[in-house]
């Protein structure tokens, strides 16, 4: 009986730890208004509930993938835009090359945030080792997170 309860508790924690896809009619009006005001040209929009207080929209503008996060009250937090690796600023590329020698850059995003201005989120890989790195435009590393599979 004890092991069944542990299994159920673990399963519940795992389901709440990941973003859940939701339909637009479940999004708070304040979030939708903020999104449509900030991104009037957005198409192919899908929504996820990141946690109890954040919503993320994934969408296209001019054949480019974007995502934007909002609080449940509609405050914009961040917009990520997929960019080509060659579009990374020189300072960002130099930081990645120095701190992750021998790693290959797998993916790059430019993120505009309400807290840090413009930053770059870069995924690097060497063998089975994968890191998600956040770097300022001037090349300062803000965050390094190892990706677990």
pLDDT band at 148 (very low <50, low <70, confident <90, very high): confident
pLDDT band at 32 (very low <50, low <70, confident <90, very high): very high
HEC profile for the chain?
A: CHHHHHHHHHHHHHHHCCCEEECHHHCCHHHHHHHHHHCCCCEEEEEEEEECCEEEEEEEECCEEEEEEEECCCCEEEEEEEECHHHCCHHHHHHHHHHCCCCEEEEEEEEEECCCEEEEEEEEEECCEEEEEEEECCCCEEEEEECCC
pLDDT, one tens digit per residue, over 33-65 is 999 999 999 999 999 998 889 999 999 999 999
pLDDT band at 123 (very low <50, low <70, confident <90, very high): very high
Q: What is the pLDDT of residue 149?
A: 66
Q: What is the pLDDT of residue 96?
A: 97
pLDDT band at 126 (very low <50, low <70, confident <90, very high): very high
What pTM was estimated for this model as a whole? 0.75
pLDDT band at 15 (very low <50, low <70, confident <90, very high): very low
Domain count, the chain: 1
Range of the domain at 34: 2-146
CATH number, residue 34 = 3.10.450.360
């Amino acid at each position: 009986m004890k092991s069944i309860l542990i299994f159920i508790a673990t399963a519940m924690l795992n389901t709440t730890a990941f973003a859940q896809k939701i339909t637009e009619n479940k999004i708070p009006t304040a979030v939708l208004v903020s999104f449509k005001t900030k991104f009037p040209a957005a198409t192919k929009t899908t929504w996820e509930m990141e946690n109890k207080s954040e919503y993320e929209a994934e969408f296209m503008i001019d054949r480019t993938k974007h995502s934007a996060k909002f609080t449940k009250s509609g405050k914009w937090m961040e917009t990520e835009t997929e960019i080509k690796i060659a579009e990374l600023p020189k300072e960002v590329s130099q930081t990645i090359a120095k701190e992750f020698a021998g790693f290959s850059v797998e993916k790059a995003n430019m993120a505009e945030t309400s807290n840090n201005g413009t930053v770059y989120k870069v995924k690097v890989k060497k063998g089975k080792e994968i890191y998600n790195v956040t770097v300022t435009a001037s090349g300062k590393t803000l965050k390094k997170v190892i990706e677990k599979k």
